[in-house]
Amino acid sequence: MDRQQQTRYSHWRSSAFSSSWLLYAGYYLCRKDVNVLKMLPGGNPDLGGVANLLFAFGLAYTIGHVIAGTLADEKGVRVTALAGGLISAASTSAMVLTHSHWLLLALQMLNGLGQGCGFPSLARLLSSWFERRERSTVFAWWSASYSLGGVIATGLAAWCATTPLLFPFLGWKRSYLFPSLLLAGLTFYFYRTTKDEPEDVGLPPLSNEDDRHADTGWKTVLRHPEVQAIAAMYFFLKMTRYALLFWLPLYLVQRVHYSDLLAGSTSSLFELFGFVGAVLATYVSNKYFQARRYPVAAIMLFALGFMSLLEPLLSTMGWVGERGEYLAHGHPHLRP
């Protein structure tokens, strides 16, 4: 590869990383609205209704992943991510116009489908621009997009819902509008600044010899014992993550008796320390375990389970006692 090609590769790889990072962080702008609004004065205090909205979103989000994985392979990453971001933004902004619980439920399902297009398509993009030996480190730092994105989205949604500077006649529903516009802008920016494959800009494909079985059918992939082990681990890890992601502030207020402000700031550290755990897991496995992910993943999962069992005791220790559990919840990448 000559010097000019190396320069072009560097440019497009940087664009793929930074633009996909911004877009996935932006997805969270339209994912945290219900989580924040259930705690705001004037919002929807019906926790049963909130649970229904979150269930509808989660179910559609799961289905969206399956659809997006196929679309990203067949139609392209950029088109899939563009469609997902715009669907999410449009369905979230439409919530401003309705008070019907059933219509909100339908819009949240549409939002979930759009949100489900994010991770499969963007992971596919990064795999096209980074070699397999690089991916563990790349994904560890890229995971800050959903850690820091969640923190920023929570603060932005709360600010939009309470500030008198934006459309005061809309009340707390303002938190549906501005984040949606921001996500739409980030979606278009991503589409304009990235390409699906190196070949799309006249560059040769990366040499990923370990990806020679990438075209294997999904049924064959699912029969692989290693994939089954990762899927089982991630099922329970994600169940724990989203339970804390959506309900931790409410738990801290009602059960631990934190103030609303302290509960919000403490729960945001769950995502922030999760990013630290992901980076730490990658570097520890590379340096001390010859790039083997399973030992580090097992250690961190046991730590998470142990900390969860101790949580009732740790919560009595106040602000400091909660931190260890969040760090243990880092997302170790089992495969580079």
Which of the four pLDDT bands, split at 50, 70 and 90, describes residue 193? very high
**Torsion angle, alpha carbons of 140, 189, 116, 275, to 10:** 20
d(CA 74, CA 301): 35
Q: How many domains is the chain partitioned into structurally?
A: 2
Same domain, 170 and 275: no
Helix residue spans in 174-259 (DSSP H): 174-193, 218-222, 225-254
**Do 274 and 285 form a contact (C-beta atoms < 8 A)?**
no
Q: Which domain, by its residues, includes 27? A: 14-198
30 with 157, same domain: the answer is: yes
- Asked if residue 232 and residue 154 are part of one domain, the reply reads no
Q: Is 292 left (phi over 0), alpha (psi -120 to 50) or beta?
A: beta
User: Which CATH number characterizes residue 34's domain?
Assistant: 1.20.1250.20
Regarding whether 168 and 117 lie in a shared domain, the answer is: yes
> Is the residue at 203 inside a domain?
no
Does the structure show a pLDDT above 50 at 335? no
Residue among 264, 239, 246, 252 at smallest CA distance from 33? 246
Q: Are residues 177 and 58 in the same domain?
A: yes
Is position 141 within any domain? Answer: yes
Residue 131 domain-assigned (yes or no): yes
Report how far residue 270's alpha carbon sits from residue 150's, in angstroms, rounded to the nearest whole number: 10
Domain endpoint, select from 183, 198, 213 = 198
Model confidence at 336, pLDDT cuts 50, 70, 90, reads very low
- What contacts 27, CB < 8 A, 6 or more positions away? 84, 85, 88, 115, 118, 146, 149, 183
Asked if the structure places residue 298 within a domain, the reply is: yes
Mean pLDDT of the chain: 79
Q: pLDDT tens, 230-287?
A: 888 888 887 877 777 777 777 777 777 777 667 766 777 777 777 788 888 888 888 8
Same domain, 275 and 193: no
Are 175 and 157 spatial neighbours (Cβ–Cβ below 8 Å)? yes
- Establish if 211 belongs to a structural domain: no
* 271 and 151 assigned to the same domain: no
Looking at the structure, tell me whether residues 152 and 240 fall in a common domain. Answer: no
Is 102 inside a domain boundary? Answer: yes
Judge whether 77 lies within some domain.
yes
The per-residue pLDDT for range 304-330, each reduced to its tens digit, is 888 778 777 766 665 555 544 444 455
Are both 135 and 236 inside the same structural domain? Answer: no
Query: Are 141 and 272 part of one and the same domain?
Result: no
* 116 and 263 share one domain: no
Q: What is the pLDDT of residues 123-156, one digit of tens each?
A: 999 999 998 888 888 988 898 887 777 777 766 7
Judgement on whether residues 26 and 82 belong to the same structural domain of the protein: yes
Classify residue 69: in a domain, yes or no.
yes
